Chain A
Amino acid sequence: MSLTERLLNIDRRYIYLVIAVAVLVPFILPFHMPVYVSQPVRSVYDFIEALPEGSVVLVGFNYSPSTMPELYPMSLAVLKHCCSRKLKIIGMTLYSSAATIGDTALKEMAESCSYQELQDYVYLGYKPNFEATMLGIGEDIADPFPTDYMNRPVTEISMMKNIKNYRDIALVIDLGSGNTPEAWIAYAGSRYGQKIASGCTGVMVSGLYPYLKAGQLVGLIGGLKGAAEYEKLVKLTGKATLGMNAQSMAHLAIIFLVLLGNVVYLISRHKARKKVKV
């Protein structure tokens, strides 16, 4: 068997090994690389930075546990920014599997910047049906959320006294792994003129650009890289920044694999043609 043939039919487990090594090595031998902050991420930061103290932001934790490595560091960075700006935070989720994630993230934030539940932040928990929930907040937030996560009536929570609907909410930040950003844009954005920022998984980024460029999103934080950029802006060395080395190496490895695959393919095709000529 010639080298090209062997390379063409290589056992896929060797390729798995290449990726494992590319991801592992940077953890053991860390190095530092500067992170460049892209405009869509900066826009989110600037928008939050410009909000007056005490403004209300609604944070949607709309991701399943599977995408936590991308979106959890992002959630922490965004929450940290909100509490450093002394904003009031309403947390909620439209994904049943994220109910506990939102709770954990808010608690982690509250500990680090001494926020009090029910005074500085509220966690409303999970509601099914995107449309009905998003449209319901436009009329009265107590319609979709009569109670908070711990079943306390929303009307009796001190922070919620002056918050009725989107008019009282300065920004909706969707941290999502599915089609929640599109839904916010349609049901809260077009219908009620709500400002929306999106933090999303890498898979979703390219599909959200039309909304970003048409001004329907104030900004976009995409994937682990976006999270790392946000961490840089809020001066936090979190999981995303630490992950960037491994991310870089793995991308290089994949680019290398694509190139190698194509070179081998071209050589074998060239050989096959030669054989035909003979």
Chain B
Amino acid sequence: MKRQIPLIISFVCGIFMLIQFFIPHPGFISVYRGILNWARIIGVFALIIGIGTLVRLHFRRITRRSPGWFYSVVVFAGLIVTASAGIIGGTRGKLFVWIFQNINIPLDATMFSLLAFFMASAAYRAFRARTLDATLLLIAAVIVMFGRVPIGDFLWQAVAPQSWVDKVPFLPEQVAEWVMSGPNMAARRGIMIGAALGAISTSLKIILGIERSHFASSSQ
């Protein structure tokens, strides 16, 4: 029972959603709309689960006084203040918007902007033309980096002979665009087709109940 019913649910939902794609009849569509709504409602709970896991992790840290437990207190303080501000004051509430504008945005954006520095350091230290592959990669990267900012065209127009500039005033930009829409696009398309076949095969295995790794986490 515990094993069979989930497999049946997957199979029925999967097959229904697969064939409804081809059937525009309203009878099918109303069932389909029902399924979409159900998925959405379950989704609401799935969101809360993520928070539940987080709360559990930090709660344990605090009760066990594990190293850095003070930071877990910070997590809780942030969570409780923000959630109550938003739930009581509404999503356009003054405090809620204030927290978002002045804490959430700067923290998230700054955290990610650290990568600009890491990237520069990696560019200097790790991006070496050690192999033919790495060399090709670097050349393409430099072309795109140079061509996709105004200074590429600017330098080209300043340095290249005037007759060339007259012919192709935006050469760096155009070369970058060719790399993007030519070789880059071809490679990405190949990867995409391969990945699509992989996704179809995984989906089929889920519907047929052969692939069950998504149940694994629940039995842990």
Verify whether A and B have any Cβ pair under 8 Å. Answer: yes
B40 with A247: CB separation less than 8 A? no
- Indicate whether A258 sits within 8 Å of B112 (C-beta atoms), given known contacts A65-B104, A136-B36, A210-B185: no
B121 with A66: CB separation less than 8 A? no
Task: Please give, as numbers and ranges, the residues of chain B lying within 8 Å of A36 by CB-CB distance.
Answer: 150, 153, 170, 173
Task: Please give, as numbers and ranges, the residues of chain A lying within 8 Å of B9 by CB-CB distance.
Answer: none
A265 with B145: CB separation less than 8 A? no
Is B212's beta carbon under 8 Å from chain A? Answer: no
A-B contact count (CB 8 A): 164
Is B77's beta carbon under 8 Å from chain A? Answer: no
Complex partner residue of B128 from A206, A225, A262, CB under 8 angstroms: A262
Residues 136-163 of A contacting B (Cβ, < 8 Å): 136, 139-140, 143-144, 149-150
Interface string of A24-55 (1 = CB under 8 A from B): 00000000011110110000000000000000
B21 with A33: CB separation less than 8 A? no
- Indicate whether A143 sits within 8 Å of B149 (C-beta atoms), given known contacts A129-B39, A210-B185: no
Measured between C-beta atoms, what is the minimum distance from B170 to chain A in Å?
A: 5
B97 with A100: CB separation less than 8 A? yes
Measured between C-beta atoms, what is the minimum distance from B151 to chain A in Å?
A: 3
A210 with B188: CB separation less than 8 A? yes
Q: Which of A14-22, A84-92, A270-278 contacts B (4 or more CB under 8 A)?
A: A14-22
Is B154's beta carbon under 8 Å from chain A? Answer: yes
Residues 121-146 of B contacting A (Cβ, < 8 Å): 121, 123-125, 127-129, 138, 141-142, 145-146
* Closest residue of A by beta carbon distance from B47: A128
Report the interface size class on chain A: 35 or more
Given the complex of chains A and B, what is the CA–CA distance between A103 and B188 in angstroms?
A: 35
Given the complex of chains A and B, what is the CA–CA distance between A16 and B129 in angstroms?
A: 22
A19 with B117: CB separation less than 8 A? yes
A258 with B97: CB separation less than 8 A? no
Complex partner residue of A265 from B37, B43, B128, CB under 8 angstroms: B128
Is A213's beta carbon under 8 Å from chain B? Answer: yes
Residues 183-219 of B contacting A (Cβ, < 8 Å): 184-185, 188-189, 192
A210 with B128: CB separation less than 8 A? no
Residues 41-64 of B contacting A (Cβ, < 8 Å): 43-44, 46-47
Given the complex of chains A and B, what is the CA–CA distance between A212 and B29 in angstroms?
A: 30
* Closest residue of A by beta carbon distance from B117: A16
* Closest residue of A by beta carbon distance from B138: A258
Task: Please give, as numbers and ranges, the residues of chain B lying within 8 Å of A210 by CB-CB distance.
Answer: 185, 188-189, 192
The residues of A with any CB-CB pair to B shorter than 8 Å are 10, 12, 15-16, 18-20, 23, 33-36, 38-39, 64-69, 96-97, 99-100, 103, 125, 127-129, 131-133, 135-136, 139-140, 143-144, 149-150, 191, 205-207, 209-210, 212-213, 223, 225, 228, 244, 247-255, 257-258, 260-262, 265
The residues of B with any CB-CB pair to A shorter than 8 Å are 21, 29, 32-33, 36-37, 39-40, 43-44, 46-47, 90-92, 96-97, 100-101, 104-105, 108-109, 111-113, 116-117, 119-121, 123-125, 127-129, 138, 141-142, 145-146, 148-154, 170, 173, 177, 180-181, 184-185, 188-189, 192
Closest 4 pairs (CB-CB, A-B): A248-B151, A33-B150, A66-B112, A210-B189
